[in-house]
Amino acid sequence: MLTLKSEHILLRALESDDLDFLELVENDEKFWHLSDTIQPFSREVLAAYLANSHRDIFEMKQMRMVIALHNKQPIGFIDLYDFDPKNKRAGLGVLIVEDFQSKGYGKQALDLMINYCFTVLDLHQIYASITENNEKSLKLFKQFDFEIIGLKKDWTFTQGQFNNEYLLQRIKNVH
């Protein structure tokens, strides 16, 4: 039986109550490089995003879930993007706010989402793009049998310098 709950966290749909948390994360400049954001989002734009977040992944080609503690406190997001049902693949990204990092929550969230991708969405593969200097994320994804399959040189420009970005991939039932 599939569950989107683990010992300490749960993955849940975005709710209107998440507006403050969404605004906090999306407008935090230290996360902008993850989504190529270059300016803050207005509260109205984020509210409109929340209002449409219930739409189906097959229509929107993306899905964001809140990573929350069992008391419902949001601590991060897990995203599927570039969802391609024909080729049975999607990109995957995880963001845990700083106060909750290095506590195993990202690992639990990734485990739940991988299971969801392969069982519910019937994907053949999932992939992630992670900058070369993001050692925590690289270590996390490698724990789940993601393999580095390429290096995109000088791929992102952040804080006045170019950064290399790895492309990682996990194919269902290969490992």
**Domain ranges in the chain?**
9-128
Q: What is the pLDDT of residue 30?
A: 67
Q: What are the average pLDDT values for consecutive 10-residue runs of the chain, which has 175 residues?
A: 82 89 76 66 80 82 92 93 96 94 95 96 96 93 96 89 95 77
Query: What pLDDT sits at residue 32?
Result: 58
Handedness of CA 52, 170, 109, 159 (dihedral sign): negative
Residue 50 CA to residue 99 CA, distance in Å, equals 24
d(CA 33, CA 30): 7
Q: Residue 89 and residue 114: Cα distance in Å, rounded?
A: 12
pLDDT recorded at residue 174:
61
Q: In terms of CATH, what superfamily is 9-128?
A: Gcn5-related N-acetyltransferase (GNAT) (3.40.630.30)
pLDDT at 1: 44
- Asked if residue 166 lies in contact with residue 148, where contact means CB atoms within 8 angstroms, the answer is yes
